[in-house]
Structure 1
Amino acid sequence: MSPTLVSAPSGAEEFTEVVVVRHGETSGNTSRILQILQQGQLDPELNEIGRQQALVVAHRLSKEAKPAAIYSSDLKRAAETAKIIAKVCGVTNLELNEALREMHMGYLQGLKWDDAVKKYPDVFRAFDISKIAESRNQEIPGGGESPNQLNERCVSYLNKIAQEHTGERVVVVSHSAAIQELCRHTYPPNSSIHRNIPNTSLNVFRVSGVTGRWILERCGDVIHLDGNGIRENSFVGDGASV
């Protein structure tokens, strides 16, 4: 089956349909290590539930329009999710790229919430402040990123993908904070709206590679996990997991 072309929502403008999937569950999710204050760009693998989740979302995607390509963060938890999706959907065009990685959390990576507060109170404070709209340029000490830096690298890469796949559907596998920034890009400036991004959730964007216009059509969709017993530990990406 060849990739299905996607019609523009209105008018003559052509869009790329970008289906962004959060990776499956890891052991860090189940142990409640602060994953946005925790794994960040550390590189754990999927656990068994995560692999089951990836297989379920892959089968869901296989019943929809075939993607022209799959793009993924090169971190193991995302890359493995992407490879499962690619295999089930029969897609050979799979590209791993560090531009889709999770936010770099500096000294806070690998720490639980309480440990982060105790061990690096000033760093934790900087992270907390950076969530305020006016302080989005605040970098996390220890080589970490600011929210604006995360936003720039993820949005720029998706714009590039959209330019290469006008009128097609693509699947992108990434991480909680990264996906939240993609969602935020569709909001008005300084918006404080927060989206829940569960493991293997579908987040669907229409992106124009010509005008740069973004439309968020769906966010946090995990209907494929309902009723199969693999959703219990699928944390929602609210600052407690990535």
Structure 2
Amino acid sequence: MSPAISASPHGENFTEMVAVRHGETEWNVSHTIQGRLDHELNETGRQQAAMVARRLSESEEAKPAAVYSSDLKRAAETAQMIAATSSVSNVVIDQALTERHMGSFQGMKREDVLKSEAYKAYSSKDERKEELPGGGESLNQLSERCVSRLNAIAEKHKGERVVVVTHEEVIQELCRHANPTTSVRRNIPNTSISIFHVSGSDGRWILEKVGDVGHLNEDSFP
């Protein structure tokens, strides 16, 4: 691996994990719940992906050592742009980084879900343990899947920067894991950057940044 890769400021046992939400899709625009349904980026999403890719490539010494991606098209397309712009030879497609399975809510408008009897019944229970209606994942299941995978990736890339392109619900859960003292739902816009410093060997997580879209305003990467 290139010696130009920067180490995490927290020491060589930590990996800087740059979690990027995929670019915009038409279902994002219409506020339709996608979950595992597989949709491509729209034109705005492709422009957003190009902008975040440029931002992540600006610092020669801080380019990613690797780019990992969810298996869904909207994430993989975003990841391919990031990898190409940062001269990373390939994207590692990883199903463990896929979006939360939203069960029977997939394909429904968000406002209709919130008014549905199924959602009201679900939200009155323990949302961490309770699976979503129609075979969807509980928050505990989502956490086990994505947190354990990032710990493994961090252990493989100690002291390096790694880009992980994934989805809103995954990043929400990563934030909750890194900062369990708050249950506030974060704002995670399309192609936003959230930064975690992770020591995979002992499970230590430090949340540094959430939902940063400075690149959409042509700001530079820190």
TM-score past 0.5 threshold: yes
Residue 31 (1) aligns with residue 30 (2): yes
CA distance in 1, matches of 2:19, 2:113: 30
CA shift digits 1:155-213 (9 cap, x unpaired):
01000000100011100000001101001111236x31221101000101100122210
Equivalent position of 1:192 in the other structure: 183
Equivalent position of 1:239 in the other structure: none
Aligned-pair identity in percent equals 59
Residue 151 (1) aligns with residue 140 (2): no
Cα distance change of structure 1 residues 23 and 129 upon mapping to structure 2, 3 Å threshold? farther
Residue 63 (1) aligns with residue 58 (2): yes
Name the amino acid aligned to 1:52. Answer: Q
Task: Check the 8 A contact 1:126/1:139 in 2, yes or no.
Answer: no
CA shift digits 1:193-242 (9 cap, x unpaired):
221101000101100122210001111100111269xxxxxxxxxxxxxx
Name the amino acid aligned to 1:14. Answer: N
CA distance in 1, matches of 2:218, 2:63: 25
Task: Check the 8 A contact 2:198/2:205 in 1, yes or no.
Answer: yes
Task: Check the 8 A contact 2:24/2:44 in 1, yes or no.
Answer: yes
CA distance in 2, matches of 1:126, 1:141: 9
The structure 1 residue matched to 2:167, chosen from 172, 175, 200, is 175
Residue 161 (1) aligns with residue 153 (2): yes
Equivalent position of 1:216 in the other structure: 207
Equivalent position of 1:100 in the other structure: 97
Cα distance change of structure 1 residues 127 and 48 upon mapping to structure 2, 3 Å threshold? farther
Equivalent position of 1:226 in the other structure: 217
Secondary structure, aligned partner of 1:135: coil
CA shift digits 1:122-168 (9 cap, x unpaired):
2x1244346xxx43101012110001111110101000000100011
CA distance in 1, matches of 2:71, 2:9: 30
Secondary structure, aligned partner of 2:206: strand
Name the amino acid aligned to 2:208. Answer: E
CA distance in 1, matches of 2:122, 2:86: 39
Give unmatched runs, 5+ long, in structure 2.
Answer: none
Cα distance change of structure 1 residues 13 and 69 upon mapping to structure 2, 3 Å threshold? closer
Equivalent position of 1:121 in the other structure: 117
Name the amino acid aligned to 2:44. Answer: I
CA shift digits 1:90-133 (9 cap, x unpaired):
10141111111111011110001344356x522x1244346xxx
Name the amino acid aligned to 1:192. Answer: S
Equivalent position of 1:207 in the other structure: 198
Name the amino acid aligned to 1:150. Answer: L
Secondary structure, aligned partner of 1:214: strand
Secondary structure, aligned partner of 2:141: helix
CA distance in 1, matches of 2:127, 2:111: 23
CA distance in 2, matches of 1:129, 1:151: 20
CA distance in 1, matches of 2:206, 2:99: 22
Secondary structure, aligned partner of 1:198: coil
Give unmatched runs, 5+ long, in structure 1.
Answer: 229-242
CA distance in 2, matches of 1:227, 1:209: 33
CA distance in 1, matches of 2:159, 2:77: 27
Q: How many residues align?
A: 216
